[in-house]
Amino acid sequence: MIKKTSVSLHVKLFVLLLLSIPGYPLADEPPRMTINVENQELELNHYPAEGSALALWFPPGYGFVKRHHQVARTLQQHGVESWQVDLLESLFLPRGSASIRQVDPELVARVIEQAQQQTGKPVVLITNSYGAIFSLRGMRAWQQNHPGDNNLLGAIMFSPNAYQGIPSLGLPPRYIPETYASNMPLMILQSARNGNRGQLDDLLAALRTGGSPVFVQLMPGATSLFYKEDQAEATLEHLQQAPQRIVRAITLLKKLPTPHKVAPLPEETPAEKTSLGLDIDLKPFRGNWSPPLLDLKDANGEHHTLRDYTGKVRVINFWATWCPPCVEEIPSLNRLREKMADEPFELISVNYAQQTDEVKDFLREVEVNFPVLIDHDGTEAARWRVIAFPSTYIIDANGRIRYGVNAAIEWDTPQVIETLKQLIRNTTASSSGKKRQ
C-alpha cells in the first residue's frame, strides 16, 4: 500500500553492483555452513573474508531477508566476515518475538564462543528489531563464561526492540532484564520513522543503567532498512551506507575497553509479573495522564485539535500504511463512524511519520471515511506514548482517556458500540445532574 518513490540512479547502481559481485546468489541462496553447538547442528549463512573481524548476525523474528544478505555480501568486500545464524529455524521454533524470548541465552553464548574460536577473530553482534533480545541476552551469558575477555567487541543494532512485552496502552515500555544489566559497548542505528523511535530515550536510559557505552546514529526518512516494503529513497540510501557504517562502528568498538565483570540483573518487582501482550478487545485505561493537545493538519491540509471535538466522545487511532493490521481494521472503523453518526461522537486517525503525498496515494486506493491527521516526524505518537501500531484511545466528552487498545480489533461490534454509548449516557447524566443543582 505504500507509494514506491522513484529511486535515485546511484541507489540503482548499488543494487546492480551487488548482483554483479562474483558468486553473488542470484536466486537468493546464500552460501551455507554447519556448526555443532552443544550437540546441536546449526546451519548458517557464511560470508568469508580475510579481515580481522567477524560479524555474527542474529535475525528478528521473521528471519533473514534479501537485504540482510546484500549488506553481508558488501561487508565481505570490506574484509568483514559474516555468520548469519537463524536460531528459530535451527530449533524448529515458530516465527515471532515470543519464540526469541524462549531461546536459552547460553546457546547464544556458545554460538559466540564457537564463532571466535573457529575464526580466531574478535566478534561483533549485528541484529535488528527483536533480534536485540538475542544480542543482549547472549552477550551477558558470554560475559559470565569469559569475564574480561576482549574477543567480544559488543553489538551493532538497527532500530532495536528489547521489550519484555507490549504493555497496556499508555503505560511505559518494559524491557527484558538484560537491558538493564548491559555493560558492553553498543552502536544503535535508528530509523527515524520506525515505530519504536519514540521510545529511544527510554531504551537508552535502560541500557545505560548497567554501564553500557551506547552510541546512536539516526537515519532520517527510513522506517526499517530490512523491511522490503519500505522502498523510500531515503531508506535505500541508508541501506547502501549500512556496510560502511558497520565498518566504522567495528573500528570504534575495538577501541573501547572491555568490561571486567558482568553487570548484575535488576531485582524482579511485582510489576514485572503483570501480563503483557497485544489486546484483543478494549481495556480500561491504566495510565495516569491526560491526553496531549493533538494539534495537526490532515491529509487535505485542514487543521485539527482535540478542542474541535469538545463535548464528544472521541476515538483517536494511531496507524501507518505499512502496518497490515492497521489497514485491516479500517473497514470496521468506517462502519463504526457510520453507526455512531447520530451521536456526539468523532473518530480521528493519526498517521505515523509518513509524508502527506504518501498518505494521499494510499487514500486514493483505500476508502477511509474519517479524518486522517499527519504526524510527519512521529512526535505526537511519542507524546501519546504509542508503542505498537495500531494503538487507539477512547476519550470521554470531558477529555479523560477511558479505554485503549494496542492492537487491531473489530470496531463495530455490539460490545464496542455499547461501551461508547455508555460513555455518552454517562456524560449526559452528569450534565443533567449539574443543571439540576
User: Which of these, 167, 171, 157, 284, lies nearest to 226 by C-alpha position?
Assistant: 157
Question: Is residue 402 predicted with pLDDT exceeding 50?
Answer: yes
For the chain, the maximum distance between any two Cα atoms, rounded to a whole number of angstroms, is: 85
- Type and span of the H or E element at 124: strand 123-128
- How far apart, in whole angstroms, are the C-alpha atoms of residue 108 and residue 134? 7
CATH topology of domain 9-273: Rossmann fold (3.40.50)
186, 262, 388 from 214: Cα distances, Å: 5, 16, 24
- How far apart, in whole angstroms, are the C-alpha atoms of residue 54 and residue 123? 5
The pLDDT value recorded for residue 38 is 83
CB atoms within 10 A of CB 400: 12
Domain boundaries, the chain: 9-273, 283-436
Retrieve residue 246's grid coordinates. 558497520
Question: Is residue 348 predicted with pLDDT exceeding 90?
Answer: yes
- Residue count (the chain): 437
The letter for the amino acid at 254 is K
User: Which of these, 109, 212, 108, 199, lies nearest to 161 by C-alpha position?
Assistant: 199
The pLDDT value recorded for residue 325 is 94
- How far apart, in whole angstroms, are the C-alpha atoms of residue 215 and residue 49? 26
- How far apart, in whole angstroms, are the C-alpha atoms of residue 385 and residue 171? 7
- Chain-centroid distance of CA 87 in Å reads 20
Residue in this structure with the C-alpha cell 494521499, named with its chain if needed: 360
pLDDT band at 433 (very low <50, low <70, confident <90, very high): low
Retrieve residue 15's grid coordinates. 543494487
- Asked if 325 and 294 count as a contact pair (C-beta separation under 8 A), the reply is no
CATH topology of domain 283-436: Glutaredoxin (3.40.30)
Retrieve residue 382's grid coordinates. 511519542
The burial class, CB within 10 Å (0-12 / 13-18 / 19+), for 108 is buried
- How far apart, in whole angstroms, are the C-alpha atoms of residue 390 and residue 324? 9
* Phi, psi for residue 243 in degrees, rounded to 5: -60, -40
Picking from 10-24, 113-127, 375-389, which range would have the lowest pLDDT averaged per residue? 10-24
- Asked if 50 and 78 count as a contact pair (C-beta separation under 8 A), the reply is no
Question: Is residue 17 predicted with pLDDT exceeding 70?
Answer: no
- How far apart, in whole angstroms, are the C-alpha atoms of residue 141 and residue 339? 55
The pLDDT value recorded for residue 157 is 98
The pLDDT value recorded for residue 290 is 86
Retrieve residue 137's grid coordinates. 541476552
The pLDDT value recorded for residue 429 is 58
Retrieve residue 88's grid coordinates. 528459530
Picking from 124-128, 152-156, 389-393, 425-429, which range would have the lowest pLDDT averaged per residue? 425-429
Question: Is residue 7 predicted with pLDDT exceeding 50?
Answer: no
Q: Reduce the secondary structure of 132-155 to three states and give it as a string.
A: HHHHHHHHHHHHHHCCCCCCEEEE
- How far apart, in whole angstroms, are the C-alpha atoms of residue 427 and residue 429? 5
pLDDT digits (tens, 9 = 90+) for 277-286: 677 788 899 8
The pLDDT value recorded for residue 22 is 38
Q: Is 412 left (phi over 0), alpha (psi -120 to 50) or beta?
A: alpha
- Type and span of the H or E element at 314: strand 313-319
- Asked if 297 and 304 count as a contact pair (C-beta separation under 8 A), the reply is yes
Look at the alpha carbons of 405, 409, 412, 418 in this order and tell me if their dihedral is positive or negative.
Answer: negative
Calculate the average pLDDT of the chain: 88
pLDDT band at 259 (very low <50, low <70, confident <90, very high): very high
Kindly provide the residue ranges of all beta strands, DSSP E only, lying in 343-390, ordered along the sequence.
345-352, 372-375
pLDDT digits (tens, 9 = 90+) for 206-218: 999 999 999 999 9
